[in-house]
């Protein structure tokens, strides 16, 4: 018998000074049985960094050919494809062929090894942006089945707060997109 996803509810207030986006988002996250709290919270962080009414969570780990998050245009075509973790080059090449913009939020202890191994090949993908997210283990302290979170983004710094904790994250751009 297959295990079912665990449902998490998040009330996320985003104040993104860098992009000029301010909004409240009521989110439902389905955490696959093989997904960790850390990965789920990085998905939530990726949502906050790209917050938009058209941005939605994908089917995640249960589907190989779908992004973790996607923003679709009015025709249903994928405008922005967002992955979290350390995806393989083949997946990212396919994503770049299907979306105008592809963003990877790389996290964990293996990022440096993954980037040394794949960075040169990934550099050829014009539509790809790669962002390293440090200190993601601290985000797991904010994980709960029902979350009320505030995310402030200013000058490249991110502060995620919930209840009595605040986590500061300073993402590092490993590769910028060259797409128009």
Whether residue 43 is predicted with pLDDT greater than 90 in this model: the reply is yes
Domain residue limits, the chain: 7-175
Half-sphere exposure of 151 (CA within 13 A, CB side): 30
**Residue 145 DSSP symbol:** S
Q: How far is CA 17 from CA 28, 36, 139, 155, 162, in A?
A: 25, 30, 21, 8, 19
Is the CATH number 3.10.640.10 carried by domain 7-175?
Answer: yes
pLDDT tens digits, residue range 93-102?
999 999 999 9
Interval 47-86: pLDDT, tens: 999 999 999 998 765 566 789 999 999 998 999 999 999 9
């Amino acid at each position: 018998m297959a295990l079912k996803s665990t449902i998490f509810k998040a009330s996320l207030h985003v104040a993104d000074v860098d992009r000029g986006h301010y909004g409240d988002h009521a989110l439902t996250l389905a955490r696959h049985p093989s997904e960790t709290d850390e990965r789920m919270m990085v998905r939530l962080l990726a949502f906050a960094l790209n917050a938009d009414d058209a941005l939605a969570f994908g089917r995640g780990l249960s589907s190989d050919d779908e992004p973790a998050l996607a923003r679709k245009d009015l025709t249903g075509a994928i405008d922005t494809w967002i992955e979290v973790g350390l995806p393989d080059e083949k997946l990212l090449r396919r994503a770049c062929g299907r979306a105008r913009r592809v963003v990877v939020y790389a996290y964990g202890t293996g990022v440096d090894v993954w980037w040394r191994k794949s960075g040169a090949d990934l550099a050829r993908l014009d539509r790809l942006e790669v962002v390293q997210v440090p200190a993601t283990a601290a985000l797991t302290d904010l994980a709960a089945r029902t979350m009320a979170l505030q995310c402030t983004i200013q000058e490249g710094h991110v502060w995620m707060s919930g209840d009595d904790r605040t986590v500061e994250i300073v993402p590092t751009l490993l590769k910028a997109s060259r797409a128009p």
